[in-house]
Structure formats: structure tokens, C-alpha cells
Structure 1
Amino acid sequence: MLATLALDAGRAISHVDLADELWCGQPLGNVRNALQAQATRVRRVLDGKTGQGPGLTVLRAVGNGYLLDIPPEHVDGNRFLDLAARGAALLHCDADRALELLQEALRLWRGPALLDAGDGLRCRSAATLFDERRLTVWEDIVSARLAVGDNRQAIADLSQLVAHHPLHERFYEQLMLALYRVGRHSDALDLFHRLRARLDEELGLEPSDRLKHRYAEILSQDPRLESTAAVWSQQVGQRIAAY
């Protein structure tokens, strides 16, 4: 219940929507009583954390629902999304500051998003959004490192990211560029072939045209790979397509 209300902090959620989220369509004898019991438990926890007395809790009953009466920016999930957006906006003009903001965003994480928040549609959809945005933040962090010339730390980050996300092509593309820049040309090319074999074996697919283009650049030792433009040239097109 707390997670559901926090996702819409400052806005009321109806009894019907809350019940559907908490019990996923399971039949209830008395929805209002069930929600009141949950609200009492939440208030007990919140009052203990904030030191507020009875009647001053941030969890409020309003009309035919409940709301968490706090500013949206006080919710870590919203803070994460805000920091991620601010960092992404600075990538091309101030990579160092972008890196600070993006790392601050990741420090808010304590594990998988909304891990114990139940199976309701609101929380599961939000968890998917947060998890996908975290991957994009990692892409942006690596891009910032590559932009400022920190190729070795980029390799260290990407080696772990590729291990945890073995089919995420953007991480492979970034790792190929970082390896090339530190003189590991054969490793960069081998990485492409390993991904190509894995995609074919598991999905019956070929690498994207974007990744093939990066492979061709490395194969020909294109001097543009050493420029900052190489970090952004394909990412910009990818972002435009995504939106």
C-alpha cells in the first residue's frame, strides 16, 4: 500500500484502485475494512519513523481513497528519475557534471525495484520503468566516461554490465569502442563475434546495423573512433528512435 501511494505521492488513489493493486482481483468481503487495516499498519510504521503523533501522519484518508501527503520529490523513485534526466541533459555539454548526477542517481538503489511490493499492475509497471531507466543511466555513465577519456574505468564497468546483460547490444558497442581506444583491437573484434554467435544461438538474430557499423569502423581503424563524436554519433539516433 505504501509503495502504491508513493508512486503517486500527493494524489489520491481510490479504494477500488488500491484494492485491485493490493489483492489483484481477489474477492474481498469488505474492501474498506481491509484497506483500513492496511492503512493502520502503514501509519504505525510511518509515525514511528517520522515521530509524528496520531492524526498528523502523512497517510491520509480522503473521500473514497487514500493519499500520501508528501511532495513527489521526497520519493526516491522520483528523485532517481529527476537526477537521471538532468544527467542525460548534460552529457553533450558537461560530461563531468553529468557523471556526478548519474552516479548520484544510482546510489539511491538498494536492490531490484519494488521487489516486495506485490504483483499489482501499478507496481510491476513502475518496477519495469525503473529497471529500464537504470540501464539507460548506466549507458549514460559509460558514455560520460568515454567522453572524458576514462576508457579503463569504462571497460571495468562494461565488463560487469555485459556479464549481467548478455544480450544488451548498446553495452557491447560501448565496450568495443573502449577496448579499441586502449589498443585492444582484437578483443574488440572478438567481442562482436561472440555476441553475434550468442544472438544467433539464442534468438536466431543478427547484430543490429548500428553494431555492425561499429565493427566495420574498428576493422578499418577509423581515426574518428578516437574523437568524442564517436561516443555520441550513434547514440543520438538511438534516442530519437526510442522517443
Structure 2
Amino acid sequence: MGVEHGGKTYRIRAKKVRTLLTVLALHAGRTVSWDTLVGELWPGKDLANSRNALHANTARLRKLLESWDLDAQPNDVVVTANNSYLLDVPADATDAARFLRLASRGSELLRKAPEQAGSVLNEALELWRGPALLDAGEGLLCRSTAAQLEERLMTIREDLITAKLHTGRERDVIADLQELVVAHPGRERFSEQLMIALYRCGRQSEALDVYRRTRAWLVDELGLDVGRSLHELYQSVIAQDPVLDARN
């Protein structure tokens, strides 16, 4: 985790301070109760002096902020309010918030303006620098938020590929999709997209092989059959349904 300001990047070495700032940043502009923060800094532990320990780490965070070349005083950035703390920065000040905003905007544009959607979704992906909330903490909030961000990343990648398929860029996505299908064999949407791209490039037999491999993996690993959408796509490929060539 790092903080960027004035063209500089500041790193936080102390784990508890890093977790504290992460949780506050995830609620930028909103108060976070002391109990929530204690639960994130010491998950599964019942500290007799937890409030004092939290105050001590908050003081360390403020001292760290004071050592950076910021435009505001530490007490104005990390604010104490009614048994809570608040990180007084704009809600869009974090990469996570900007990522989610761009993701939503890109998804909204997908059908009516796929080229623009692709640009917005690419901008969102450029904010991704590694596993979500890496080294941020092991508390429930950090772990659940990281899982949500990782899932949103997958849907963005699906939406970006859909945007390219809408604009006739099938050949451009095949290699990426082949990697994604291998990395995420249970994610049927990637298999569907790869089948469509291969079919449109005149590679019908390969498209059918993708279905067979995906189905075999689901049956062998999870004891499940493919979903309705993937099965219907398989039938459409066999029938060479003209709808498969439609971009919209």
C-alpha cells in the first residue's frame, strides 16, 4: 500500500498503521467506529487495552503523515469524532473508489457506446497494480472488500472483451481469452466469449472444443454441468446460427 501526493509515493512499513489507514481510506469521508477499527487491527483477539492500542496506532499514523509533504495538518486529515475516526479526504481519492466508479461507468456505456466503454474500462484496469489490498490486513472488512474488488476486476475484463466483440475485434481478444479460460476454467462467461470470437474467425471446431473442455472441467472438478447460457451457445455454434455474427 502506498500514498501518492505531489508527485511522490509514500510507503507505510508498519503493518498496524497500514491496516488503519486502509480501513479509513475505504470509508473516505465517513466515520469508522473504534470497534470496527479494533476488529480489523486485531482480528479474533480480545485486547483488554484495545482502545489505548488503537489511539497509539492513530498517533503513529498522524506522526507519519506529519513527516510527509502534505497540504494539511495530520489532525485535519485523520479526525477524531464521537468514538470514531474519519479520513477527511474526497471519496474519490483512493484507487479503489476510482476503479469502481470507472467500472460502473464503463458497464453503463457497454451497449450504447462500446468504443467509449472500452476506453473507460481500460482506464479502470490501469489503476490495478496487483492483488487487491495486498498486505492491508486480515480482518473481515479487508478480506471481504478485497474479494469484492477481485470479483469486480473479473467482470470488468468480461465487459471489456464484450466491448471489443461489439466492435468487430474478435481476433484481438482470442489470445487473452485463451489465457483467461485456462486461469479461470469455472468462469463460463470467458468460455462463451472465446467460443464467439473463434466462431466469428471461422474456427468453429475450436469453439466447440472450448465448450467440451469447460464442461469436462465442471463435471470433473465440481460435479456440475454447464449453465443454460453456455449450452445454448454451443447449440447455436453447431447450427451456425446467424445471430452469432451480430455485433449488438
Answer yes or no: same fold by TM over 0.5.
Answer: yes
The equivalent of 1:13 in structure 2 is 32
1:184-209 deviations in Å (ceiling 9; x for gaps) = 11110011111111111101111111
**Which deviates the most, 86-95 or 43-52?**
43-52
Relative to 1, partners in 2 of residues 1:97 and 1:53: Cα closer, same or farther, differing over 3 Å? closer
Match of 1:182 in 2: 201
Q: Partner letter of residue 170 of structure 2?
A: N
The residue aligned with 1:199 is 218
Match of 2:239? 220
Residue 99 of structure 1 is aligned with which of 96, 118, 133?
Answer: 118
Q: Distance in 2 between matches of 1:147 and 1:186?
A: 22
C-alpha separation in 1, matches of 2:119 and 2:72: 38
Deviations 1:22-74 (A, max 9, x none): 11131223222211221123223333444346555511222212110011111
The answer to whether the aligner puts 1:129 opposite 2:148 as a matched pair is: yes
Deviations 1:196-229, CA, capped at 9 Å, x for gaps: 1111110111111110110111111111111113
SS in 2 for 1:170: helix
| Pair 1:88 & 2:107 matched | yes
- Matching residue within 124, 137, 147 for 2:166: 147
Which of 78, 81, 94 is 1:62 aligned to? Answer: 81
Instruction: Give the gaps of 5 or more residues in structure 1.
Output: 230-243
TM (norm. structure 1) is 0.89
Residue 9 of structure 2: aligned partner: none
Secondary structure at the residue paired with 1:66? strand
Conserved? CA contact 1:91–1:144, under 8 Å: yes
What are the Cα deviations for residues 139-170 of structure 1, in whole angstroms up to 9, with x where unaligned?
Answer: 10000000001111211221221122111000
- Give the share of equivalent positions with the same residue, in percent: 48
Consecutive unaligned residues in structure 2, runs of 5 or more: 1-19
Q: Could you say which residue in structure 1 is the equivalent of 2:230?
A: 211
User: 2:147 is aligned with what amino acid?
Assistant: T
CA RMSD of aligned residues (A): 1.5
SS at match of 1:174: helix
Q: Identify which range, 18-27 or 48-57, moves more after superposition.
A: 48-57
Deviations 1:89-110 (A, max 9, x none): 1111111110010011011111
Pick the aligned partner of 1:120 from 105, 117, 139.
139
